[in-house]
Amino acid sequence: MPSLLQADVYVSSRLPLAIKRLSESSSFSPISCTLIHGDAEAVLVDTPISVSQTEDLISWIKETASGKELRYVYITHGHGDHWFGITVRRKHWPNLRALATPGTVEHMKGQIKPEFSEGT
């Protein structure tokens, strides 16, 4: 009998921004991450931006999909708040592979490329 797939959604905490908007404190929007899992393996869609959010997500994955191997994380688009947490997760699942479309990979490159000009 084929295994049944289950999908669970995790919503991260909000992160405060260091800058104020209209003289008021502000924060990043929460990020939702979807965990799709079968009998033994799991796939995660997106990941939070910060170390603390990612550590909370790791705890949630271990509770939600206890004993299952997180094999892949699918990155929906290139904004850093959807993939910066991958390295933290690899400490728990060293064989974790990140998947993204070629367009998403190009967008990701733009998120980490330092912007500067010569002489500055």
Strand, helix or coil at 36? strand
Q: Which pTM was predicted?
A: 0.79
Give pLDDT tens digits for 71-100.
999 999 888 777 888 888 889 999 999 999
What is the secondary structure of 52-118 as a DSSP string?
A: HHHHHHHHHHHHHTTT-EEEEEE--SS-GGGTTTHHHHHTT-TT-EEE--HHHHHHHHHHHSPP--T
Please give the pLDDT value at position 113. Answer: 60
Q: What percent of the chain has pLDDT over 70?
A: 91
If you ran DSSP here, which 8-state letter would residue 18 be given? S
**Strand 41-45 relative to strand 32-37: parallel, antiparallel, unpaired?**
antiparallel
Enumerate domains of the chain plus CATH numbers: 6-111 (3.60.15.10)
